[in-house]
Amino acid sequence: MRLPKTPFIAVLAGIAMAGAVGASAATLGGLSSTGLGSDNSVVAACDTDGISIAYTTAYNATAQEYQVSAVNFTGVNAACNAKAASVSVRNGTTNLGTTNAASITVTASAFSITLASPVSAASVNGVSLIISG
């Protein structure tokens, strides 16, 4: 069969590129075809004007100390509702305990996270909060 020259070259070029793709996959032993791409996405804050933090404390007579049982957040934007959150109570750089919440409920601009394990109130001098999702 005689094919016109110039179109034939163009077709060959296309087949050659397709073949190159196929050859690359073949060297990995039959991986299914896949793609690689990238895109940009916005990572935005759900609250931009700050959040106030307070603690729920109670006296534990057995331990004979005040303990922090929950961390309470106020001034929270409703956009943070239903997001995941993680709170860590700290003593300096020492993490006294981290509690994760799969979904927070922001009601009247506030939410609370009950700590998985209460910690000595006297030891707490800081807290870190992450909201994501």
Partner 1 sequence: MSPRWLVGLVLWVSVLAIGVAHASVLGGLTPKTLEAWNQSGGSGAPTVLTCDNFSLAAATGSALASRPVQLPAKCGSGTWSTHLGTWTIASGLLRATTANATASINAGSTNVSAQATITNANGSSRIAGVAINHTGATRIYLVGALSGPSTAQLRLVNGGTITTIASATVTIGASAVVRITRNGSTVTVSVNGTLAITHTLTSGQITTLSGGTRVGLYWNSGTGIRFTNIVATTPASP
Identity of the residue, 45 or 107, whose beta carbon is nearer to partner 1 in the bound complex: 45
Residues with Cβ within 8 Å of residue 49, at least 6 apart in sequence: 75, 77
Identity of the residue, 45 or 116, whose beta carbon is nearer to partner 1 in the bound complex: 45
Task: Please check whether residue 127 is in contact with residue 88, taking contact to mean a CB–CB distance below 8 angstroms.
Answer: yes
In this structure, what are the phi and psi dihedrals at residue 38, rounded to the nearest 5 degrees? -140, 160
CB of 132 to partner 1, least distance (A): 5
CB of 71 to partner 1, least distance (A): 9
Under the rule (CB under 8 A), what is the footprint of partner 1?
4, 6-11, 13-15, 17-18, 21, 33-47, 50-51, 53-55, 57, 59, 61-68, 79-80, 83, 121-122, 124-133
Residues with Cβ within 8 Å of residue 130, at least 6 apart in sequence: 85, 86, 87
Distances, alpha carbon 31 to alpha carbons 18, 53, 126, in Å: 16, 51, 50
CB of 45 to partner 1, least distance (A): 5
CB of 14 to partner 1, least distance (A): 4
Identity of the residue, 79 or 110, whose beta carbon is nearer to partner 1 in the bound complex: 79
